[in-house]
Amino acid sequence: MSDLAAIQNATDSEVATIARAYERYFASGFYDQRYPRHNAQSLATILKVGRDARAILDFGCGDGRYVLPLLHTTAARIFAYDICPVALTSLERRIAGEPGRDRVQAILGPREDYTGGAPVDLALIMFGVLGHIPGRANRVATLRRIRELLTLDGAGHLVVSVPNAARRFRAEQQEHRAALAAGTPRPPAREEGDILYSRQHGGEQIELFYHLYSPEMLTGELRDAGFKGIRLQAESVWPESGVTRSGTLAALDRLIRPVTPAGLGYGILATAGTG
């Protein structure tokens, strides 16, 4: 076995471990409690670039926080891709009685063909899903495959949100930097910006992987994947779990977010095109 093959096999194993961790996270119900709905301001950005989209890929759709409002506000066919069966089962329940339900196709990964080969003109990677992919090379490869889908039938747009390293998990970042300096990082957290963190629910501790971003890091990955016209903004000023649960915080965030630099946001939201 070549070194490259060994690295790929290890990565596949790590991706499977990450998938199992998020399966437990979804199954616990804790994720639903933290993020009961979509971010209204992020949806407004999505609709600004893609209201007239004919086909949409929601990569890492979870249980449909953006699928449902897009079903209501667009006439597009929606490909809902996720590697978590529990999340897709919840998605099916969420949209079961909705008009236009037949426009949604749930696709279970991991697989490299996110839409069954169908072209799309809008792609979403929301709620920090890109940061759950270990390895910069793997993230750029994912973005390139999505860009290919966006160019199969013309040109398209991408909307992606990622966690901001300047606002998130500072203790975990310090711990990872120390491990990198000592040459003892814990896989799959091998690179600058990676962390491992824990969520506790009902006495159970679930360890999860995340890659945290600066605006420059996100721009670099998008450019390396071939995207152009990249625009960054703050996704929210307060933690998204609060913004999506509290009407008061959402209203305050709506006022302050437009004048908040992307680098100061709790998350970073980017739009990009293929042309």
Q: Classify 207 as helix, strand or coil.
A: strand
pLDDT interval class at 265 (50, 70, 90): very high
User: Residue 112: is its pLDDT beyond 60?
Assistant: yes
Residue 159 counted as domain residue: yes
Determine, yes or no, domain membership for 177: no
Domain annotation covers residue 188 = no
Residue 30 lies inside a defined structural domain of this protein: yes
pLDDT digits (tens, 9 = 90+) for 118-128: 999 999 999 89
Q: Give how many domains the chain has, as a whole number.
A: 1
Report yes or no on 219 lying in a domain.
yes
Q: Are 79 and 17 in contact (CB under 8 A)?
A: no
User: What is the pLDDT confidence band of residue 17, given thresholds at 50, 70 and 90?
Assistant: confident
Q: Is residue 259 part of a domain?
A: yes
Residue 235, domain member (yes or no) = yes
Radius of gyration over alpha carbons of the chain, in Å? 18
Residue 97 maps to a domain: yes
Report pLDDT digits (tens) over 49-98: 999 999 999 999 999 999 999 999 999 999 999 988 988 999 999 999 99
pLDDT at residue 150 tops 90: yes
| Domain coverage including residue 109 | 3-169+213-273
What pLDDT was estimated at residue 35? Answer: 61
Flag whether pLDDT at 4 surpasses 70: no
CATH number at residue 31: 3.40.50.150
**pLDDT tens by residue, 168-207:** 999 999 999 999 999 999 989 999 999 998 877 667 778 8
How many C-beta atoms surround the C-beta of residue 255 within 10 A?
9
* 174: three-class secondary structure by DSSP: helix
